[in-house]
Every structure is written in C-alpha cells, then in structure tokens.
Amino acid sequence: MSKYCNNLSSELIQSVADLKDQEVLELVQQRLLKGDDPINIVEDCRQGMIVVGQRYEQQEYFLSGLILAGEILREVIEIVQPLTEKKFFGKSRGLILLGTVEGDIHDAGKDLLKIVLKVNGFNVHDLGVDVPPGEFVAKAKELKPIVIGLSCLIIGAYKAMKTTIAMLRSDPETASIPIIIGGQVNSDVCNYVSADHWSTDAVDGMNWCINWVQKVPTLSSASV
C-alpha cells in the first residue's frame, strides 16, 4: 500500500474515532475513487469504532457517541455494499445461518460478515439481532445450514450464546452443524460457549467456512 493510502487510512480511523461524520463520508468517497478495496475501508472504520468504544469506557463519550458511531458505520456500509455485490459465478458454497444472540442488538459486524460471505458464494439467512436460542434451533432445523454463525459484542450476552449452542448441540437434527462465533470474542469465550471456531474478522471467518465446506465433499457439491 502506498504512503498516500496509509495516510488516508489513518485519517479515516481518526475521523471515525472523532465522530466526524461528514469527513468520514468524504474520505470513504476519496478512497473508493482511488480504487481502494471496500472491505479495507470498512476495516479502517472498525478500527475507529474500537477507539470510540474505549472513549465510551473512559466516559469521554456517552451513549449518544455510540449511537452516532453506529450511524456513521451504517452509512459507510450503505455506500460500499453495492460495490461488493459482484455476482458470484458457479454453484453456491451452501447456506449459512447468521444472527446476533439474544440480549445483543449490535449488527454492523454481522452485516459485514454477510456481505463478505455472499461475495464469496455463500447463501446467507440472517435472523437479525436479539435472536432467542429457540429461533436459531427452529431455523436450523428448517433450513439445514452448513454452518451457523453467532455474533456477540456484549459480555452480558455470552450466557445466551452458550445456551443457544447447547440447544443446537442437544437436538439430533442440528447437533453436527459447525458453529462459528464472532464479535467481542476470544478463545476463552469460544471454550466457554463450546463453539467450533471464533473470529474477530469477517474475512477470516469466511475463510474458515470455505475450509470447512472443502473438508466435507458432500457439502462442496451443494447447489444454490
């Protein structure tokens, strides 16, 4: 990446962190005109959001700051999404069931993962946010996804994520479906909730799904 791009990248992170919405949108447009990858642009916004979260913890920002940050990211995703919707030619890699767990309403990361999965040939059924465990189980039984992805950014919702996974594992129809978690998670959370894999990066999560499909020959022939 050129020095110029690096400068634009740190400027974008800084503008998101400072909640300068107009400046963010201008920088996004500039980078798109320069041909920068939309996913890199959103990743920089995510870095800025981490700073917003830290400033919220330090009481430099309040809830209104989090709300504004969420709106800024939503606008950025609206701008970049059409550019990522190139048609994937070939057979679908299979269906992935996604949702943010009960008690959590954060959806930007989940929506970003959905874009990345679709661009890479997966079909996605998105259950939305604050999804009760029973709804994951019912939809998984109906749709028989190849992978289930749970998003969670709130410590208080880890328990609901654990319950969701326990319910999926205890039902013979859904017990063997692999489960990946993402958001504010790490290996300890992954062990606590008994998921198969964890990720804090949409592209890494998508790659794990691709590897999983390739390991199971019957899945790699799934059609759209």
Asked if 132 is part of the footprint of ligand B12 (rule: CB under 6 A), the reply reads: no
Name the strand (E) or helix (H) holding 161. Answer: helix 158-170
DSSP conformational letter for 150: E
Residues 135-154 that bind ligand B12 (CB under 6 A): 149-151, 153-154
- Are 119 and 186 spatial neighbours (Cβ–Cβ below 8 Å)? no
Asked if 105 is part of the footprint of ligand B12 (rule: CB under 6 A), the reply reads: yes
Query: Which of 14, 81, 92, 184 is close enough to bind ligand B12 by CB under 6 A?
Result: 184
Number of helices (H) and strands (E), helices first, in the chain? 10, 5
- Are 185 and 219 spatial neighbours (Cβ–Cβ below 8 Å)? no
Task: Choose the stretch contacting ligand B12; rule: CB under 6 A; options: 8-16, 28-36, 51-59, 214-222.
Answer: 51-59
DSSP string over 93-142: -EEEEEEEBTT----HHHHHHHHHHHHTTEEEEE--SSB-HHHHHHHHHH
Asked if 108 is part of the footprint of ligand B12 (rule: CB under 6 A), the reply reads: yes
Task: Choose the stretch contacting ligand B12; rule: CB under 6 A; options: 11-19, 22-30, 104-112, 165-173.
Answer: 104-112
Q: For strand 179-183 and strand 197-199, is the pairing parallel, antiparallel, or unpaired?
A: parallel
Asked if 97 is part of the footprint of ligand B12 (rule: CB under 6 A), the reply reads: no
User: Minimum distance between the CB of residue 44 and ligand B12, rounded to whole angstroms?
Assistant: 11
Site of interaction with ligand B12 (CB under 6 A): 46, 49-50, 52-54, 56-57, 63, 66-67, 69-70, 73, 103-110, 112-113, 149-151, 153-155, 180-184, 199-202, 205
